[in-house]
Amino acid sequence: MKLVIPELQRNICVREFTAKRGLPYITPHGLRHTFCSLQIASGVNVRTVQARRGHSRASTLTDIYNQALKTADERASGVPDDILTPKERKKPLFMPQQA
């Protein structure tokens, strides 16, 4: 049997928990969005995130988290450059031979 706590009671519990610890208040629904956005930003596959969120279609997830997906895509586009140009060297690893 699944324990169901009314939304208002959940929010009160979270508010008390965060206040006692000096943390900023965020609703349980806000935590869900934050966690999902962090998963996407960390490169977790969209289908995996979709399944863990309980969405029946991946399109639901992509519609809601469109901005997080764009940010993850922008970060991913810089990965090859980061790999081939380590910050400490400031020069590409693979330099063409000069004749």
Predicted TM-score (pTM) of this structure: 0.54
Show pLDDT as tens, one digit a residue, over the chain (99 residues). Answer: 566 667 778 888 888 999 999 999 888 888 888 888 888 878 888 888 888 888 788 888 778 777 777 776 776 666 566 666 666 655 544 545 555
98, burial (CB in 10 Å: exposed 0-12, middle 13-18, buried 19+): exposed
Instruction: Specify the 3-state DSSP secondary structure of 61.
Output: helix
Q: Are 18 and 25 in contact (CB under 8 A)?
A: yes
Residue 18: count of CB within 10 angstroms of its CB:
13
Q: Are 36 and 45 in contact (CB under 8 A)?
A: no
Domain-wise residue ranges, the chain: 7-84
For residue 33, the number of C-alpha atoms closer than 13 Å in the C-beta half-sphere is 11
